[in-house]
Amino acid sequence: MRYGMVIDLNRCIGCHACSMACKQHNATPKGIFWSRVLIREIGEYPHAKVRYQPMLCMHCKDPECVRVCPTGASYKREDGITAIDPEKCVLCKYCMLACPYNIRTKIMDIQPYHSEKEFTPYEKVAFTRHQPGVVSKCNFCSSRLAEGKEPSCVQTCPGKARTFGDLDDPESEVSKLIARRKPVQLLPEMGTDPSVYYIEEGGE
């Protein structure tokens, strides 16, 4: 078992629904986004266009973040998810520096979303999932996976740009998509073997 994802950039419309669904489900504190959509302009006038690049933890098969962690806080689960044990994290930030995808972020202080107000009842409950002084990142919505559900970003995407499943199962939809569409991994030269693949714009 090794969970992975394929994102079809031809279907991504840059709506940020994935980012909002991730933030809502995981209740990440103010300023913390585990799922982002990068926006850039490619080409030259009059043929320039906007390209959207969804970004999340790549859950690499051979992650640098795990290799450099001095306490074992960053580790690989049996299902391929790269996870963080907050009780072991000392915020040395080695993992943040080692990650080629600039995905990890630190939680320094948990504040209400509206700084002039107190925590809402929802925030009082939801923010207990996080603690200050640690590094955080996407975990493929592991709590949803335990319930037999897909990650929130996959379920929410209105363009159906994301496909999720077991990379070790050749009969899974995600494996079939990789075999058929030949998606690419980001920064393959780093040797981390990301579990997130991208079907490039215009790709068959």
Summarised one tens digit per residue, pLDDT across range 147-188 is: 999 999 999 999 999 999 999 999 999 999 999 999 999 999
Check pLDDT > 90 for residue 202.
Answer: no
pLDDT at 122: 87
pLDDT at 5: 98
Q: How many CB atoms lie within 10 A of CB 91?
A: 15
Sequence spans of domains, the chain: 3-199
Separation between Cα atoms, residue 62 and residue 83, nearest integer Å: 13
pLDDT at 114: 84
**Quick one: which H or E segment has residue 52?**
strand 49-55
Check pLDDT > 60 for residue 204.
Answer: no
The closest of 184, 185, 60 to 68, measured between CA atoms, is 60
The band of 42, judged by pLDDT with boundaries at 50, 70 and 90, is confident
Instruction: Classify the phi-psi angles of 203: left when phi > 0, otherwise alpha if psi is within -120 to 50, otherwise beta.
Output: beta
What percent of the chain lies above the pLDDT cut of 90?
85
| CB contact set of 124 (below 8 Å; sequence gap of 6+) | none
3-199 has which CATH code? 3.30.70.20
